[in-house]
């Protein structure tokens, strides 16, 4: 039986990799939701439904005839921008969930983050997210998780994928393009000696995780999974690779988390009076907290086995960054 799978955010980092993975499966019919069909991957075979998720008429039409929704559309910000995160991400996503339920979509696969419950409970992908007032967008990610948990049932199955740190081809907002120019300033410290993990997830592995979640059988009404790479490096290992292969400076000093957070708070407070974005923010410090995420549950229930080594993934992204990133990336995603 053919399953009709809708992929929102089909032009984005996650969405484009989900399309690639789904196209390797003959048992699915793919619908790509995007703002511009011309920006879909070359060779895309499927239906394109073009529109804006903020439009209620578009949302209603979008989910008609859909069995599974892979919600990869996301507006993101690594700090501040509370109102934009609410209007561009939280509200359209909650409305899409309602529309999907009303249309009889039987499975909704959500994009979340492995940092949602860090550092206290992130090893358990079924744990409740822990809202952090210091990062409004993360609070909205968690609000969506909670809404899906409350609405999951026999007729509306939910799969929540807590993804590691995005990296690889067609990168968008992420830690690497934010970190690289800041390392060049020689002002970025080691936090906690760089010993915490950096759970890098290659876009190609993420795409496979979604494709498996879209077609897996025997799942409960609500399932949560951590999705990370084949091997999880430490922050020190990642920065050392950037130093040895790309000549980026190693940090010259170190601070514990207890000092890193107030220092980042000070950088945020200085933002209105300086012409550049903060050197570091509390949300970035939060991303450096230990997540202790692994793929054990995803391997057992989905058959997820990532194949892309984090070193290869960084090299792929660095090549792309050298070609297209002519100036430092802002810590907020533009609406395209």
CB distance 69 to 3 below 8 Å? no
CA terminus-to-terminus distance, the chain? 35
**pLDDT per residue as tens digits for the range 203-251:** 999 999 999 999 999 999 999 999 999 999 999 999 999 999 999 999 9
CATH architecture of 3-167+201-229+291-307: 3-Layer(aba) Sandwich (3.40)
Give the whole-angstrom CA distance, residue 45 versus residue 43.
6
Measured at the CA of 132, the angle between CA 129 and CA 137, to 5 degrees, comes to 85
- Write the CB contacts of 323 (distance below 8 Å, at least 6 apart in sequence): none
What pLDDT was estimated at residue 316? 95
**pLDDT per residue as tens digits for the range 74-90:** 888 888 889 999 999 99
For range 154-170, the mean pLDDT: 95
Q: Which residues pair with 107 in a beta bridge?
A: 68, 157
Instruction: Indicate the domain borders of the chain.
Output: 3-167+201-229+291-307
Helices (H), 110-161: 136-151
Give the whole-angstrom CA distance, residue 3 versus residue 16.
19
Q: Which of 154, 73, 143, 142 is nearest to 107 (CA)?
A: 154
**Residue tagged 């430092």 (tokens):** 328
Tell me the Ramachandran region of residue 303: left when phi exceeds 0, alpha when psi lies from -120 to 50, beta otherwise. Answer: left
The Cβ of residue 185 has, within 10 Å, a number of other Cβ atoms equal to 9
CB distance 280 to 267 below 8 Å? yes
Is the model's pTM score more than 0.85?
yes
Task: Specify the pairing of strand 190-191 against strand 165-167.
Answer: unpaired
DSSP letter for 156, please.
B
- 278 falls in which pLDDT band (50, 70, 90)? confident
Positions of E strands within 79-156: 107-113
């Amino acid at each position: 039986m053919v399953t009709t799978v809708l992929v929102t955010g089909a032009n984005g980092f996650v969405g484009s990799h989900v399309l690639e993975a789904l196209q390797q499966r003959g048992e699915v019919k793919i619908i790509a939701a995007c703002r511009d069909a011309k920006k879909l991957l070359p060779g895309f075979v499927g239906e394109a439904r073009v529109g804006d998720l903020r439009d209620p008429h578009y949302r209603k039409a979008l989910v008609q005839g859909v069995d599974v929704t892979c919600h990869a559309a996301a507006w993101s910000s690594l700090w501040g921008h509370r109102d934009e995160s609410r209007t561009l991400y939280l509200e359209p996503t909650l409305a899409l969930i309602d529309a999907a339920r009303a249309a009889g979509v039987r499975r909704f696969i959500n994009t979340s983050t492995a940092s949602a419950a860090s550092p206290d409970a992130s090893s358990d992908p079924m744990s409740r997210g822990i809202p952090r007032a210091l990062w409004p967008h993360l609070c909205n990610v968690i609000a969506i998780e909670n809404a899906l948990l409350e609405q999951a049932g026999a007729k509306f199955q939910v799969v929540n994928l807590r993804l590691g740190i995005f990296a690889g081809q067609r990168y968008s907002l992420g830690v690497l393009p934010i970190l690289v120019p800041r390392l060049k300033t020689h002002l970025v410290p080691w936090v906690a000696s760089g010993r915490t993990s950096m759970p890098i997830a290659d876009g190609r592995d993420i795409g496979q995780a979604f494709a498996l979640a879209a077609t897996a059988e025997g799942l409960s009404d609500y399932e949560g999974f951590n999705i990370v790479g084949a091997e999880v490096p430490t922050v020190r290992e990642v920065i050392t690779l950037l130093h040895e292969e790309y000549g980026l400076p190693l940090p010259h000093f170190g601070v514990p988390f207890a000092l890193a957070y107030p220092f980042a708070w000070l950088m945020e407070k200085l933002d209105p009076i300086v012409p550049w974005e903060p050197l570091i923010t509390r949300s970035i410090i939060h991303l450096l907290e230990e997540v202790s995420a692994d793929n054990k549950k995803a391997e057992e229930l989905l058959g997820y086995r990532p194949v892309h080594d984090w070193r290869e993934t960084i090299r792929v992204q660095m090549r792309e960054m050298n070609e297209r990133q002519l100036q430092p990336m802002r810590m907020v995603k533009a609406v395209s």
